[in-house]
Amino acid sequence: MVDDEKKKEPQKPLTVRRLMIENFRGVARGQVDFSGHTLLVGGNNVGKSTICDALELVLGPERAFRRPIVNEHDFHSGQYLDENGVPIYIKIDVVLLHLPEEMEKRLFSKTRPWSDKKGGFVDVEGAKPEDADAEDVCRALPLSFIGYYNRQEDDFAGGTYFSHPIQEIGEDDEQFGKPFAGLSYFPREWKIQCGFIYLRTLRTGRRALSLERGSLLDTILRLGDSGKESMWESTVKQIRALKPAIGDIPQLEEIQKQIRNRMSRFVGLSSDADATGFFASDLTREHLREVVQLFLKSKESNHSVPYSRLGTGAVNALVFALLTHIADLRGNRAVIFAMEEPEIALPPHAQRRITKYLLSNMGQAIITSHSPYVIEEFELTNVNAVSRQNAVLSSDSIPTDAIKYRTLRSNRRQLAEAVLARGIIVAEGDTEAKMLLAATYAFEKLDPSNEYVPLDIVGVSIFDAGSQSNIPRWGPFFNALNKVTFAFHDQPNAAWTEDQSANLATYQYNFETNYKGTEYLLIEEVPVSVLRRFLTRVSEHPDYPTEKGYLNNAPNDEEVKKLAKEVLKAKKGSGFAAMVIEECQALEELPKSVKEFLTRVAKDMALPKLEGEGTDEAGKEGDQLNGLLW
């Protein structure tokens, strides 16, 4: 009785669990695992958009309307035939979890038992019957998109199929030997039930707000309007019956008469007066879909203009407003929503708001982004770092088990920036982090060769570990994200343990100074003249530790060094160490240890130079451009 009264657990939303790609664009093969909402991060051109496009080929209900559905450039290396003229196939596999109850009931024979603990299907060869009864096992729907060149039709073709079960077919069947042999077709009606929507970057202003098939407005019509079947027919009739008709314009009437008189000599035209005529359009539904546009009045101008004339930020905001409406229309029919770079042309607060909405109202949000404001809104367990090497695509989730959850939460902003970086310097503390940042800019400014490029330009982020003991634990964490990692810290107070040494070995370059503190490094490696300038400058700083006293009229070098060390110790973590660096007026005045470390980082993270680059200012601008394009 108690069991009967227990409420059922809420239905989990339909989600993509796994994506596997073969021979699609820049990916020869690859696999991406999703854990509910997923943020895809990574450098440019690693395959984030390819992932979204692959999902659309499998699940997008409107993609099938595109002709051809794939083309030459969608095949890896552009090869759609092998050396013998045999078709090479694009194959994209998707695993869906948590099907709605009615959908799972009707498609049960197409599903397979899936276990997250085992990371795959449990009905494989060698499995035991009881494996399917494990607590974490659920039904999963495997689907496959297969694209290929049809030599007989001299065209490209493709479609989505149920991957299971595979029916046996005879050798005389025309599908025998093909990847889709024995598979049944996954129709558009089921794709609509999946609720997949894909919003591409920079295409929102051209198509998302039009009435073309697959646009957001078309989606709203399909979801919420009961008279859509007659809408276009009614519109066509109204245009045809336009009064006064276009052809009734006096100037056009005269042209019609001239055409009738001339053509009647050669062609048998009707004797009716309207044997020739002008109409507002060619009166097809598809034409109307293309030409009908949404007009808007902004508050400032109060004049209707096509939506495409609005600013990019306003268009994106309008797109987002429509997305919220789509989510409301679907209600409990959850949406699998993929979106590229929601940060385009939007300020930080709008980025946060959009991301929060997507995470709260979409069944599954799959987003690509380069914005720390977007990244901060995601749980780190849902962030996937995408990489591609030798045409093999992979994604790695953040290894959150290595770092306490509270630590991860308190470092969200730092981690968001680090996830986007090519390389990461893990600094012992705030003092070291600020000093290195000041030093990289000073190095650039003072380098007479004009060759040094600062850290941020080559994509290196500085991460404040918080303490010396934290340096080892962050090494494996960032290494798992395929980042080039560097450590910068003082000599330890006690010898590193065996585990700490092993973690430090995960850094590409582990730089340990010869000093017990940064203030000692600065006092020993910066000229006294720089320390004098520093003390003169900070004596007027509101945070100056007045209890340490000030420089007297003629202090000797030892007195200057002693006072500078006391001031730096007293204001550790306040940015005073960075101020010492800022007082350096020549490259030789920068600390030797810091220059050595920054030179090594610059060498390891160097970007290829643009053709014709030199060592002049133009060449340096080329270096910086490379940094922006990585």
Give the residue among 29, 41, 98, 94 at the shortest CA–CA distance from 366.
41
Lowest mean pLDDT among 30-44, 524-538, 588-602: 30-44
CB atoms within 10 A of CB 531: 23
Structure confidence at residue 462 as a pLDDT band (50, 70, 90): very high
179-198 exposure pattern, b = at least 16 Cβ within 10 A, e = fewer: bbeebeebeeebbbbbbbbb
Q: What is the pLDDT of residue 204?
A: 46
Alpha-carbon radius of gyration of the chain: 32
386-414 exposure pattern, b = at least 16 Cβ within 10 A, e = fewer: bbbeeeebbbebbeeeebeeeebeebbeb
Q: How far is residue 546 CA from its own chain's centroid?
A: 50
Structure confidence at residue 245 as a pLDDT band (50, 70, 90): low
Q: What is the pLDDT of residue 403?
A: 75
Q: How far is CA 230 from CA 188, 235, 284, in A?
A: 21, 9, 13
As to burial, measured by CB atoms within 10 angstroms (0-12 exposed, 13-18 middle, 19+ buried), residue 141 is buried
Q: Classify domain 11-194 by CATH number.
A: 3.40.50
Specify whether the CB–CB gap between 248 and 279 falls below 8 A.
no
Q: Which helix (H) or strand (E) holds 368?
A: strand 364-368
Q: What is the pLDDT of residue 483?
A: 87
| pLDDT higher than 90, residue 411 | no
SS3 assignment, position 8: coil
Q: What is the pLDDT of residue 279?
A: 65
Q: How far is CA 416 from CA 305, 374, 424, in A?
A: 39, 9, 12
Specify whether the CB–CB gap between 92 and 70 falls below 8 A.
no
Instruction: Indicate the pTM of the whole model.
Output: 0.77
Q: What is the pLDDT of residue 2?
A: 45
Q: What is the pLDDT of residue 589?
A: 97
**What are the start and end residues of each CATH 3.40.50 domain in the chain?**
11-194
SS3 assignment, position 19: strand
What phi and psi, each to the nearest 5 degrees, are found at residue 357?
Answer: -65, -45
The Cα 597–Cα 603 span in angstroms is 10
Name the more confident of 411 and 88. 88
* Tens-digit pLDDT profile for residues 417-432: 888 888 999 999 999 9
CB atoms within 10 A of CB 222: 16
Specify whether the CB–CB gap between 183 and 163 falls below 8 A.
yes
Q: How far is residue 469 CA from its own chain's centroid?
A: 33
Place of tokens 């800019």: 441
Q: What is the pLDDT of residue 535?
A: 94
Structure confidence at residue 240 as a pLDDT band (50, 70, 90): low
| pLDDT higher than 60, residue 532 | yes
| pLDDT higher than 90, residue 547 | no
Q: What is the pLDDT of residue 1?
A: 44
The Cα 233–Cα 158 span in angstroms is 31
Tokens of residue 519, six digits: 């203030």
Structure confidence at residue 171 as a pLDDT band (50, 70, 90): confident
Q: What is the pLDDT of residue 481?
A: 79
3-class SS string, 277-325: CCCCCCCCHHHHHHHCCCEEECCCCCCEEEHHHCCHHHHHHHHHHHHHH
Q: What is the pLDDT of residue 288?
A: 72
The Cα 471–Cα 584 span in angstroms is 28
Q: What is the pLDDT of residue 282?
A: 62
